[in-house]
Amino acid sequence: MEKVRISKLLSEQGLCSRREADQYIEQGLVTVDGVVVMELGSRAFPNQKIELKKEAKLAQDSRITIILNKPVGFISHRDEDKEYEPAVALITPEQFFRTHLDANKNAKINTRGLAPAGRLDIDSTGLLVLTQDGRIAKQIIGENSQIENGTKVIA
């Protein structure tokens, strides 16, 4: 059996994305068989026990995912040239659906790191998923995703 990068193993287990895994490793939030791993590129055997520490799990729990009906005239991703308005600009406190369960009804929405899982061009309208959570993005647009052309494939 050959050792595999820990970030890949974490991603395959659905615990986080590879990029998130690298961040957690750098922060000392990943253990292999109970031992903290802090070196990027570290490898482990697939049968070893790889876990995220409590702090990493709390960070994941604070990430948001927003489902948005993107109108015509907005682009999915942030525009480097600032020529077009990104869909994330539509996310304002006034447009956020809140329930009686929300503790702070006036809380600002942290859109930092919010990225679209998929794309709709500027002339398209439809469902756009914006997420800070790599696990969700992977389920939607990852290579093993069951979602094809915007519709769920039912086997």
- Residues with a known catalytic role: 121
Q: In angstroms, rounded to a whole number, what is the distance separating the alpha carbons of residues 93 and 103?
A: 14
According to DSSP H, which parts of 17-146 are helical? 18-26, 54-61, 134-141
CB of 120 within 8 A of CB of 128? yes
Task: Compute the radius of gyration of the chain from its Cα atoms.
Answer: 18
According to DSSP H, which parts of the chain are helical? 6-12, 18-26, 54-61, 134-141
Could you tell me where the beta strands, DSSP code E, fall in 42-121? 43-44, 50-52, 65-70, 115-116
